[in-house]
Amino acid sequence: MEEELQAKLLAFGNEVWVWLQANLLAPLRLIELGIVIVAYFASRFACSKILKGLLKAFGDKPFIRKFSDRFLLSILSTAMTIMLVWTAMLIVEPLLGRPYILSIATSLFSAWLVIRLAVSIIANRELARLIAGIAWTLAALNIIGLLDPILTVLEGAHLPLGDSSVSVLDVFQGIVTFGVLLWAALAISSLMEKQIVNFSTLPPSARVLVTKSGKILLVSIAFLTALNATGIDLTALAVFGGALGVGIGFGLQKVVGNFISGIILLMDRSIKPGDVIETQGTYGTINRLAARYTSVITRDGTEFLIPNEDMITQPVINWSHSHRLVRRRIPVQVSYESDIRRAMELMVEAAGEESRVLSSPEPRTLLKNFGADGVDLELRMWIEDPQNGVSNIASDVMLHIWDKFHEEGIEFPYPQRVVHFKTDGPLPKIAVVPPNYEEGELETDEAILAEAEAGKAEKTDGENKAD
C-alpha cells in the first residue's frame, strides 16, 4: 500500500514538473508572467490613489476608510487588473501567438472577483476569508488543469480505519461537508432562537432549553452527516464512544458536570434569565444561561460567569423566583426623650414618599426593643423591582427619615456612659498644674500641699488679729 502511494506521488510530481517547464519556464511565458505582475501592481497603485482622492472629496470618515481598505480597494484593483490583462492579451496575441499565462491570469482574477463578491454577505470576516481562499484554490486548480490529477491522487491514497479504509479525498469531503452543515446548523439555530424569544407564552427557561436543545440536535446531525459523507461506518463509533466515555470520566468531569447542571437548571426552572439572585457574595440579574456557566450582571455593570455546578451545589437566594415582591427592613433607634409614636408615624410617611415602595402591602413601623442607648424601631416596606436595587431604596428612605426627624425634633441617640468612683480610704493626692506652667517648673504635690497649708494658717492668724 505504501509503495503504491509513493509511486503515485512520484508520478504526479513528474507531471507537475513537466507542466511547469512547458508552461511557466519558457521565455514567452515569463514575459506574460511579468505583464501580469506589472498589471496587478499598477492597478493596485492607481486604485489606492483614486480612493484617497474620493475620500478627501466626500469626507475622510473612519468607517468609510475602513470599508474602502477592506473591500473597495480589493474589488476595484481586481477589476482593473482584469481589464489591463485582457488588453495586454489582445495586444500580445498578434505578435507572440495565443498567450497562455495571460489567459489563465484573466480567468483566475475573474474567479477571485466573483468569489470575493459572493462571500461579502458573510458577516464573519475570518470565515469569509477562509471560504474565499478554499473556493479560489479549487477554481485555480481547475483552471490550470491540476484539479483532476490531484483528486485522482487523493482518491488513491487510503487511510486504514480498523477493518476498512478511507481515502484522503473522502476525509477532505467530510471536512468540507461538516463545515458547511455546521455553518447551516448554527444559522438555523440562531434564526430559531430569534423566533422563540418572541413567544411570550413560553417561560424564559423553557425558551433557553428549546434553543439549546435545538442547537445540540442540529450540530449532532451535521456531524453524523459529515461522517456518512466520508464513507465511515457509523457502527465504528462504538469504540470511539467508549474511549470518549473514559476520557470524560477522568479528565472532563467538571465540564460535563457543568453541562448537565445547566440542563437541570433549565428543566427545574429554579433560576431563569431576568431573575435577581444572590450567591457567594454576588448580587445581580441573570443575563443568560449558557451550557457551561450562568452569566450574572451586577448593579455596577460587572458580569460574573458562575459555573452551573456552583448554582446547584451552593446556596442561591432568588429574589424573584415565585414573585418579585421583596420586603426591606430598616432599623432605626431614637432617644428615650423622643415621641415614639410620632417617630413611628414619620418613618411610615418617609417610606410613602418613595414611588418604588408599594402601598399594598403598606409600610409599617414596629417597636422592636428598649435598648441601652435608645428605643429600637424597625420600618418594614415592600418593593416589586429588586432588579433596580434593594440597597438604594433603603438609602433614599433613610434620608427622608433623617430630614423628618430633624424637622420634628426627634433625636437620634448616641452612647452615654456614667462612671462612678468608689473608695473606702482618703482620696489620692493629685498634683495641681498652675495655669502659667512651663516645663521644668512643676512642683511636687508635697510642696503644693505645704504651701496651701501655710496660706491657710496665715489667713487664720489674720482673722484672729482682726478680731
**pLDDT per residue as tens digits for the range 381-401:** 999 888 788 888 999 999 999
CA 358, 361, 362: angle at the middle one, nearest 5? 70
Percent of the chain with pLDDT over 70: 70
Q: Cis bond leading into 361, ω under 30°?
A: yes
Structural domains for the chain: 2-156 (no CATH), 175-251 (no CATH), 262-318 (2.30.30.60), 326-408 (3.30.70.100)
Per DSSP, the three-state class of 378 is: strand
pLDDT band for 307, please (50, 70, 90 cuts). confident
**pLDDT per residue as tens digits for the range 247-266:** 666 666 777 777 788 777 77
Which residue has cell 501567438? 97
Per DSSP, the three-state class of 40 is: helix
Written as one letter, the residue type at 110 is S
- Closest Cα to residue 288, out of 268, 306, 301, 309? 306
CA distances from 40 to 53, 79, 85 (A): 20, 10, 9
**pLDDT per residue as tens digits for the range 35-66:** 888 888 888 888 888 777 776 766 666 656 66
The pLDDT value recorded for residue 271 is 82
* pTM above threshold 0.75: no
- Closest Cα to residue 290, out of 276, 306, 274, 312? 306
What are the backbone angles phi and psi of residue 275, rounded to the nearest 5°?
-70, 150
The pLDDT value recorded for residue 344 is 93
pLDDT band for 143, please (50, 70, 90 cuts). confident
